[in-house]
Structure 1
Amino acid sequence: MRRPALALLTVLCLAGCTAARPLPEARVDVAAPRPVGAQDPAVIPSGAAAPPGSCDPRASLRPSGTLPAPGRMPGGSTMARIAERGRLVVGVDQNNYRFGYRDPGTGDLVGFEIDLAHEIARAIFGDPGKVLFRAVTTAEREQAVQSGAVDIVIRSMTMTCDRWQRVSFSTEYVSAGQAILVAKGSPIKGLQGLAGKKVCASTGSTSIRNVATKAPQALPVSAADALDCLVMLQQNQVDAVSGDDTILAGFAAQDPGTTVLPDRFTEEPYGMAMKKESPDLVRFVNAVLERLRADGTWARLHHTWLTALGSTPQPPAARYRD
């Protein structure tokens, strides 16, 4: 009886020892997922139909006299139709820190461009809250205006001669310039350092074309939203992000591990985009901007939201083509 018991004990011991033996380590390298819509390599837009220098992109339509009183828009005007609808519909960004983003505490859209939209609503209705915001991507901005999905796009949109062929712009409300964002300690110090490096910019932006032109040895990558480019930089999927210095400054504030290189290599004047068929709305918006420059509202909003860009400058001077 002792031999079978001893044999059983041996089997159980071996089974137990075998079960306790650690499994060999297995490593599986999983690449970080790319943001939806990211293109590597990027598709570079074809050359502009209206090349730079063929117009003054900052020159808009002159206001028609004084502003009408809120709630008393001229009959038959675009503003009257907006007033009858009861809301101004504005295409904005919801991921651009300081310009247009969601307050993490309230969930409300806030920022410099959001407040500009409120001021236009105030001029039409007498109530700054009568705005319906619609989030649009960089690539969707023109189509949103042309289709009538929005009345105005206020979304860090550079005025160019090419874009003037398809939409109209207000006068300039912010002067920006293209720059480069990198991780602190990066060997990239400027445009020359981008050779052979992956550089991310927004799809449909002037930035992606400028990267291809100004740094032809770079490897352009595009993403649907500039914030996606920051994520790709954080995940080491790209070596740098290029875009307007105003936007990149917001990224650097959100991620202290990044820095904006000091050189600006383009001029990027921001204007509000509207339908070509609504020149009365363009003139009205320009009259509102004239008032915001004159009464100190522009300076107050700049001080509230954009002090990280430096001391509050004089607002961009209005230019007109008529």
Structure 2
Amino acid sequence: MKKSWKLLSVMMVVALFVLAGCGNSGDKAGESGSGALGKIKERGKLVVGVKFDTKLFGLKDPSSGNVEGFDIDISKQIAKHILGDENAVEFKEVTSKTRIPMLNNDEIDMIVATMTITEQRKKEVDFSDVYFQAGQSLLVKKGSPIKGIEDVKAETTVLGSKGSTSVKNIKEKVPGVKVLEFDNYQDAFNALKAGQGDALTTDDAILYGMSAQDSSYEVVGKPFTDEPYGIAVQKGNSDIVKAINDTLKELHDSGEYDKLYEKWIGKAPEKE
């Protein structure tokens, strides 16, 4: 009888340890299950970092206060997928320099701001699939002797945006070139119009937006880099990445992506 009681006591202790272990495991799973996506759903609003100065992608209308562009419409579709309402989204202004710090400081849930996917940035953030394919080019005043990257020399002054890959790229393409960096693209464009530089460089899609603002400027030459745009989230937020990628797939499958592309870029996207 004593042996049976001892055996029963041991079994009860073991069972308690097993249950405790399961309980802890369940708590962790619950925390993981809620995740970053769960927090967005609980809040009922998606907070997205976008550009306010980039025509065609994210440009704030000073009269209405609304921000419009391709990135804005993509963000609305993500909000619709996650929350069922494309208007359940708040837009916060970011620049090339501030966007990653704002993301990692929990000021925004994701970055949808003409952000090129690079190996270096992958160390700081997680990216979605490519949502827009761009290439770096040059914007000059019509009549400029610069017709492409081959005309940019060490004595050329090129304008760019702080924290952008385009500044790094132009320095690699033309060693010794003088580069003036500005906080945002609109400041860089204003500097170009003020004669502070010979050319402005960034992704061709952004430059086309600038030339649409002022027809006395044009995009010249062929793109000299490959710039795949991705949507960035904090490292480890795989649940948000999946929701974004699912949204992009739905947009492509339904043909809605092509419609948004043509709406803002003015032509159909090139098919692979």
Give the TM-score taking structure 1 as reference length. Answer: 0.72
Report the Cα distance in structure 1 between the residues aligned to 2:214 and 2:119, rounded to whole angstroms: 34
Q: Which residues of 2 match residues 199-218 of structure 1 at below 5 A?
A: 199-218=158-177
The residue number in structure 1 matching 2:127 is 169
The residue number in structure 2 matching 1:261 is 220
RMSD across aligned C-alpha pairs, in angstroms? 1.5
Is the Cα–Cα contact under 8 Å of residues 48 and 89 in structure 2 kept in the other structure?
yes
The residue number in structure 2 matching 1:313 is 269
Shift of 1:262: 2.6
Work out the percentage of aligned pairs sharing the same amino acid: 38
Report the Cα distance in structure 2 between the residues aligned to 1:237 and 1:266, rounded to whole angstroms: 25
Larger Rg: 1
Structure 1: runs of 5+ lacking an equivalent: 1-73, 317-322
Q: Deviations over 1:141-173 (max 9, x none)?
A: 111221211100000000001100110000001
1:185 aligns with 2:143: yes
Report the Cα distance in structure 2 between the residues aligned to 1:190 and 1:304, rounded to whole angstroms: 28
Is the Cα–Cα contact under 8 Å of residues 146 and 275 in structure 1 kept in the other structure?
yes
Tell me how many residue pairs correspond in the alignment: 240
Report the Cα distance in structure 1 between the residues aligned to 2:176 and 2:38, rounded to whole angstroms: 52
The residue number in structure 1 matching 2:182 is 223
Shift of 1:105: 5.0
Report the Cα distance in structure 1 between the residues aligned to 2:166 and 2:113, rounded to whole angstroms: 14
Give the TM-score taking structure 2 as reference length. Answer: 0.85
1:108 aligns with 2:71: no
Report the Cα distance in structure 1 between the residues aligned to 2:128 and 2:46, rounded to whole angstroms: 16
- Which of these residues, 187, 198, 204, is aligned with residue 239 of structure 1? 198
Is the Cα–Cα contact under 8 Å of residues 149 and 221 in structure 2 kept in the other structure?
no
Q: Which protein has greater RCO, CA pairs closer than 8 Å, 6+ apart?
A: 1
Counterpart of 1:167 in structure 2: which amino acid?
Answer: V
Structure 2: runs of 5+ lacking an equivalent: 1-31
- Which of these residues, 132, 155, 161, is aligned with residue 113 of structure 2? 155
